[in-house]
Amino acid sequence: MTAGTGVSAILTEIGSLRTFGVALTLGLFFLAQRLHRRCPSPVTHPLLISSLGIIMFLELAGIDYAAYNQGGQVISFFLGPATVALGVPLYRRAEEISRHKLMILASIGAGATAAMLVAATVVKLLGGGPHLVLSMLPKSVTTPIAVEISGIIGGEATLTSVFVVLTGLLGAMFGPELLRACGVRDDKALGLALGTAAHGIGTGRALKEGENVGAYSGLAMGLAGLFTAILAPLAAIFFRRF
Amino acid sequence: MRGLAIIFVFQLAGEVLVTLTGIPFPGPVLGLLLLWLALARGWVSAESVESTAGFLLQNLTLFFTPIVVGAVVYREFLADHWLAIGLGLILSTAVGLLVTGSVAQWLEKVRSR
């Protein structure tokens, strides 16, 4: 055995340790947050920088994703309880939410429909096959709902989950800037837009913009998921034909 | 600790309901609705879950990191279709944001007039 394969065997073994994925993710995320605080800009979004850092680290060390994800799963497992936790800010605003029922339902319905149709139409026009179009349709909503829908309409669930996180990342990086540049400044409108178009990752950014923005974003994320679950199968029938 | 226990119990309840009924719906989102209902009915006090919920929500972005890293598995597919995927993601996200935001802000203005 050469020295090289010895080292890579050891690296693979370390990479498969659950603690490795946890420590690498937490460490790089912490550093990325510090960088973002020092140089606040959409392109220094902690999720983007930490993910790129981890990808580069794994590449250099020759550790594959499946090994890293032993520990990664421990981190992403907390998406479940974090989703449940959104019930608390929503409860705090229950009264205000019921006063804005029409605005909430109409804006989320319009936005979720528009995002879905634009995604599928653009991919279709640029020559994407039905497989790609159907995997793209439900990508604006939170991962567990999107994956569920993708399976139902005949897309590929894992591909959909990649589109979901990339969508969320884009929305979280540029969403509030784009909205404010286009004259959308109301807290409720910002939150509803981020949650509808960029689900949980957008909600993460919305919570940084303010607790009120975050609560509306959380609400929008859930409702947009419901809307899309109902509309996507109908849209899928249409896109399979045309 | 009480807060974390309560949150996990509600997530479990959501997941068990989904498993038993077979409805194609994510368990944690159902758990969210159940927790909201329990808080509104006073079965659970907001104080008991507040600090745990705050901690989880402050770190929401972190929990997505391993999933974003997972995009690396699809790099060849993404590279082959980069234009369609890239433009599809950018345009649909921008349109989704602007349509939702403008409709919401417009309805808010109409209402307050």
Q: Is B79 within 8 Å of chain A by CB? A: no
pLDDT digits (tens, 9 = 90+) for B84-105: 999 999 999 999 999 999 999 9
A145 to B53: CB separation less than 8 angstroms, yes or no? no
Confidence of residue A39 (pLDDT cuts 50, 70, 90): very high
Chain A residues in contact with B50 by the CB 8 A cut-off are 88
Chain B residues in contact with A63 by the CB 8 A cut-off are none
Residue A151, Cβ density class (10 Å: 0-12 exposed, 13-18 middle, ≥19 buried): middle
The pLDDT, as a whole number, for residue A120 is 95
pLDDT digits (tens, 9 = 90+) for A123-136: 999 998 999 999 99
Residue of chain A whose alpha carbon sits nearest to that of B50? A88
pLDDT digits (tens, 9 = 90+) for A161-218: 899 999 999 999 999 999 999 999 999 999 999 999 999 999 999 999 998 999 999 9
CA A94 to the chain's CA centroid: 25
ipTM of the complex: 0.91
Residue A1 has pLDDT above 60, yes or no: no
Residue A91 has pLDDT above 60, yes or no: yes
- Find, among B99, B103, B90, the residue nearest to A113 by Cα: B99
Domain ranges for chain B, please list them.
1-60, 65-113
What lies within 8 Å, CB to CB, of B60 at 6+ separation is A79, A82, A200, A201, A203, A204, A207
pTM (2 decimals)? 0.87
- Residue A62: left (phi > 0), alpha (psi -120 to 50), or beta? left
Q: Is B16 within 8 Å of chain A by CB? A: no
Give the gyration radius of chain B's Cα atoms: 20
- Assess contact for A55 and B69: CB atoms under 8 A: yes
Nearest-angstrom CA–CA distance, A161 and A144: 8
